[in-house]
A and B are shown apart, each in its own frame.
Chain A
Amino acid sequence: MDFLYLTIITLSPILFAVIILLLPKSRGEDARMLALAAMLIGPVLSAYVYYAYRMNLPPDGTPWADTLMFVEEHGWVPSIGLNYIVGVDGMSATMVLLTAIVGLGGVIISWSISDRPREFFAFFMLLVAGVHGVFVSVDAFLLFFFYELAVLPMYVLIVVWGWKERREYAAMKLTLYLLIGSFISFIAFLVLYFTPVDGGEALRTFDLRIWSQAHFPFNIQMIWFMPLFLGFAVLAGLFPFHNWSPDGHVAAPTAVSMIHAGVLMKLGAYASMRVGIQILPEGAVYWFPFIIILTLINVLYGSFIAMRQRDMKYLIGYSSVSHMGLVSMGFAALTLVGFMGAGIQMVSHGVMTALFFAVVGMIYDRAHTRNMDELSGMSKALPWTVVAFIIGGLVSMGMPGLSGFLAEFPIFLGVWQGHNLNFNGVFGLNPSNYYQIVAILAILVWLLPPLIFYELFRRSSLVNTTLRNGTICDPFSALTRRL
């Protein structure tokens, strides 16, 4: 029997969560060590899985089902087509590694947590297990199961350990948005389960390998693509369903914010791509000219709202909405380059936003405020955090040589190349006009991140006098004040 890499990566945090909960109350210190041990297993095994996949990449043109590696398949309720099937392709192997790294970072950042550490780390383990599970699932029902497993611990973690002023509101809002979204997606799953395919019988299975090779009727694709895609895209923060996200970021404790923005939002984007776009591609082609407009609003609206924030967590929360809009935009471009950019953006933003929230958590633990008006002199008091924040800021603005450029440039290129989209039919726009709009928006998107961080930079003693005097940035500052 082969070594069960993916099962161990996914289920070991659940086992450790149970062990942590069984510890006596007086042994909170052991809970930390056990959580660290659980989170060290993930990076080691997922790094091996990633390396093995990287060394054995399937050639282009291989059907998706044959690109999967480390596949494990066991019957769950075979009579109704429910099976435990896990495996990874190139995208999910990368996301599993990202989840493991961010999970480990989350435990490290939460090391000093003193309020009920056993329960905190146990729920954190469940959250990480749920996220891993979604990325490795090759069965739609299993994916849905792990998706719910990832959402529910978030509620408890925010309500119990979150920011006192907003935690109940934010946790309830987040849970309602995500559960309603997943419920709608699940209805679409059932439709696909019962739909006759190619004039024959219904598939009566949730196996995504079979779904990915089936051709669902065009009418079914047109009607059910949107519920399926949008149900998951809620978690990716797609406009206008993004509203739960910044509140969730702000109210959550640092480690949960890291997982939330670092990998949980990617989970929505991944599921909407893997299940929505891959299974119902004709529905995707039909609806993406509309969805790409939502993603443009996502990017711009998120950036503009971020500029008005004085709370560092809200600022990062709204910039996350903007960056996740770029992921959806990459998908909506319908080109290989756009998809590549979206995939890299998921990883880049995952690490970048985990870094941002880690920095804000460290500052808040020491300064007891996240308000930028009350913070100054951080470069002397906490130089490590300032350097890390500037690196994150440069990634965020798409600086060449950093991961943000590698992600965002292909997305814009992909949108530019997406000339197969028929925008005339949808918006009455001439395609050349549309390209101009995209070009202007692209320039704006590249300019906005520095504006987002301008106020913070202005207060830092690391920046030069020109910037501090505001001679360069004042017009932009005036713009943000007007908004």
Chain B
Amino acid sequence: MRPILGIDKAALIGFSLILILIGVLPILIAPPIHSGVYPVVERLNEAQLVVQSSGGTVSGAAQDLLHTVTASVLSWFGGV
């Protein structure tokens, strides 16, 4: 069977080392990811308060949208 090339070994070692390094030294990767996801979680925390107080449903939202669209279309035709 044809042996593994040196360049293939380099790739295997490189990928394996990254997996071990991240596991042993989380500080290499965790702070940038924290800073990347923090604004998203902040928006979600604000949104949770809005959703809890709104009590809205998808069917209600769909009906509202339907009313809005119908009114827009009718007004475009010069009605209502």
Pair B61/A223 contact, Cβ less than 8 Å? yes
Chain A residues with CB under 8 Å of B20's CB are 391, 401-403
For A405, give the chain B residue with the smallest CB separation.
Answer: B23
Assembled-state Cα–Cα distance A391/B3 (Å): 20
Is B76 positioned at the interface, with any CB of A under 8 Å from its CB?
A: no
Q: A57-B32, A351-B18, A391-B16 are in contact. Are A362 and B39 (CB under 8 A)?
A: no
Q: A219-B64, A223-B65, A401-B24 are in contact. Are A94 and B33 (CB under 8 A)?
A: yes
For B63, give the chain A residue with the smallest CB separation.
Answer: A219
Majority DSSP secondary structure for residues of B touching A? helix
Q: A62-B39, A367-B1 are in contact. Are A91 and B8 (CB under 8 A)?
A: no
For A384, give the chain B residue with the smallest CB separation.
Answer: B4
Is B15 positioned at the interface, with any CB of A under 8 Å from its CB?
A: yes
Chain A residues with CB under 8 Å of B22's CB are 344, 347-348, 351, 402-403, 406
Chain B residues with CB under 8 Å of A365's CB are 2
Is B19 positioned at the interface, with any CB of A under 8 Å from its CB?
A: yes
Q: How many residues of A contact B (CB 8 A)?
A: 77
The 10 A-B residue pairs with the shortest CB-CB distance in the complex, in nearest-first order: A91-B36, A90-B36, A90-B32, A281-B47, A90-B35, A64-B39, A403-B22, A402-B23, A343-B33, A219-B61
Chain B residues with CB under 8 Å of A62's CB are 39
Pair A355/B23 contact, Cβ less than 8 Å? no
Is B80 positioned at the interface, with any CB of A under 8 Å from its CB?
A: no
Convert B29-48 into 0s and 1s, putting 1 for each residue whose CB lies closer than 8 angstroms to a CB of A.
11111111111111110111
Chain B residues with CB under 8 Å of A219's CB are 56, 60-61, 64-65
Q: How many residues of B contact A (CB 8 A)?
A: 51
Stretch at the interface among A70-78, A295-303, A333-341: A333-341
A-B contact count (CB 8 A): 197
Convert A390-434 into 0s and 1s, putting 1 for each residue whose CB lies closer than 8 angstroms to a CB of B.
011001000111111110000000000000101000000000000
Is A470 positioned at the interface, with any CB of B under 8 Å from its CB?
A: no
* Least distance between A73 CB and chain B CB atoms (Å): 19
Assembled-state Cα–Cα distance A384/B12 (Å): 8
Pair A340/B51 contact, Cβ less than 8 Å? no
For B59, give the chain A residue with the smallest CB separation.
Answer: A222
* Least distance between A333 CB and chain B CB atoms (Å): 10
Is A315 positioned at the interface, with any CB of B under 8 Å from its CB?
A: no
* Least distance between B71 CB and chain A CB atoms (Å): 14
Pair A334/B18 contact, Cβ less than 8 Å? no
Q: A218-B56, A355-B19 are in contact. Are A277 and B34 (CB under 8 A)?
A: no
Assembled-state Cα–Cα distance A157/B55 (Å): 49
**Contacting residues of chain A (207-230) with chain B, CB-CB under 8 angstroms:** 212, 218-220, 222-223
Chain A residues with CB under 8 Å of B14's CB are 101, 105
Pair A285/B7 contact, Cβ less than 8 Å? no
Report 5 cross-chain contacts, Cβ distance below 8 Å, ordered by A residue. A273-B40, A334-B48, A343-B33, A347-B33, A395-B23
Chain A residues with CB under 8 Å of B16's CB are 355, 387-388, 391-392
For B32, give the chain A residue with the smallest CB separation.
Answer: A90
Assembled-state Cα–Cα distance A286/B46 (Å): 13
Convert A126-139 into 0s and 1s, putting 1 for each residue whose CB lies closer than 8 angstroms to a CB of B.
00000000000000
Q: A335-B41, A359-B12 are in contact. Are A366 and B36 (CB under 8 A)?
A: no
